Amino acid sequence: MRQRQWHWFAWIAAFTIGVFVFKLAFEHSLSAHDPLAEDVQAVIERHQISYIGDITSQVFHRKDCPIASQIPNRFQVMFFYRRAALEMKFNPCPYCRP
């Protein structure tokens, strides 16, 4: 009889620990940062990129423009100079006016 009590106690403890670990992993996955976005931000800071263009809309923004932060990484083009963006037929953003 005593052995069965320990058996159930072990199963309950293992289940509780499993649920706790799953909860921690789930919360971490929700709060984890996108490593690609961090890499893009590092490139911007390292190379002093001034402008970010959106391939889909053909509009370029200052790097601190709130609209530029909403552009998905796969649609971003980075420019060092305003002239380069204009030569690539990108239009300036009406919000940040680069």
How far does the chain reach from its first CA to its final CA, in angstroms?
78
Average pLDDT score over residue span 38-64: 84
* Kind of pairing between the strands at 51-54 and 76-79: antiparallel
Write down the pLDDT at residue 83: 92
Q: Read off the pLDDT of residues 61-83 as tens digits, 9 standing for 90 and up.
A: 998 899 998 999 889 998 988 99
Residue of 85, 77, 88, 83 lying closest to 52 (CA atoms): 77
- Ordered by start, the domain boundaries in the chain are 1-32, 35-92
